[in-house]
Amino acid sequence: MKQSRIASGGSSLLLAAACTLAGPVATEAVPSTAATGYVALGDSYSAGVGAGAYLASGADCLRSGLAFPALWASAHAPSSFSFTACDRARTSDVLAHQLGPLNSRTGLVTLTVGGSDSGFSHVMEICVLQGHDACLSAVARARSFMDGTLPGNLDRLYAAIRRKAPAARVVVLGYPRLYRPHGTCKGGLDEAERSALDGAVDRLDSVISARAAGHGFRFADVRAAFTGHEICSAAPWLHSVDWLDLAESYHPTAPGQSLGYLPVLTGAG
């Protein structure tokens, strides 16, 4: 019995030594798959509202084949492309309804979000219909929301994106200023109202940029790309108010998507 135990112990030592030299024993094969899929999240600016050529799938979301996510996917041929951005989406809508395609194989996520949370559509309605004082008050309320509530909304969404797509490069795109200062517009809002709205966009972009950086995401600023192409410029890439199609009002045109947003995303790599 004593010799048997000694022999058994010697065999165990030899086996342990062999394992040490050979390296750890793999318990299961783990496939190595590159994270190369692309998921486009967000609101109407990502969906492509205003660009036309709307897709039959998800018609209620007004997703356009001319939106910057579709154009980027066509040019770069990712291994998969999921286009879940939707008209009027808020951070809570993206969180609840758009994150399904995210997974460990997602290599790129893009999104625009925060404008709907801040009530920009309602602000524009007030500014167009209710006059100067009401407009400036609405802008002030939107800015208060941006400073007080929006950062937390963005944090919850950004954290969920990172959990579901741990390997992804996340590019958060901002919003362009709406109006060209002292531009060609002869009627409509006065210069103080236009300036206040542009200032609110600047504040919105600042909040979004700060929260994106806090989560290690890239913020892609489109304001420089749209400079000279705002409403009241000679060659606008944004729709002014359109009484025949209010959904497209204050959204990028097809050139705004292809010449404004797309190059900024392409350069954000």
Among 32, 104, 251, 258, the active-site one is 251
Mean pLDDT of 225-239: 98
Q: Is the pLDDT of residue 34 over 90?
A: no
Q: Is the pLDDT of residue 13 over 80?
A: no
Among 4, 12, 44, 258, the active-site one is 44
Of 154-158, 199-203, 223-227, 245-249, the poorest mean pLDDT is in: 245-249
Q: Is the pLDDT of residue 67 over 90?
A: yes
Judge contact between 94 and 42, C-beta under 8 A: yes
**What is residue 236's predicted lDDT score, i.e. its pLDDT?**
98
Q: Is the pLDDT of residue 170 over 50?
A: yes
Mean pLDDT of 162-171: 98
φ, ψ at 68 (rounded to 5°)? -60, -35
Residues of the chain with pLDDT > 70, as a percent, come to 87
**What is residue 58's predicted lDDT score, i.e. its pLDDT?**
80
**What is residue 100's predicted lDDT score, i.e. its pLDDT?**
98
**What is residue 246's predicted lDDT score, i.e. its pLDDT?**
86
| CA-based nearest residue to 127, from 226, 240, 50, 227 | 240
Q: Which residue has the tokens 């995401």?
A: 217
Average pLDDT, the chain: 90
Rounded Cα–Cα distance for residues 247 and 224 (Å): 25
**What is residue 157's predicted lDDT score, i.e. its pLDDT?**
98
φ, ψ at 66 (rounded to 5°)? -105, 5
Predicted confidence band at 243 (pLDDT cuts at 50, 70, 90)? Answer: confident
Dihedral sign from CA coordinates of 164, 156, 137, 177: negative
Instruction: Specify the DSSP element, H or E, that contains 38.
Output: strand 37-42
Mean pLDDT of 94-120: 98
Q: Is the pLDDT of residue 27 over 50?
A: no
76 a catalytic residue = no
Rounded Cα–Cα distance for residues 105 and 101 (Å): 10
**What is residue 106's predicted lDDT score, i.e. its pLDDT?**
98
122 a catalytic residue = no
Report the side by side order of strands in the sheet with 169-173. Answer: 81-83, 37-42, 106-112, 169-173, 218-220
Mean pLDDT of 33-59: 94
Rounded Cα–Cα distance for residues 79 and 35 (Å): 9
pTM assigned to the model: 0.87
Residues of the chain with pLDDT > 90, as a percent, come to 83
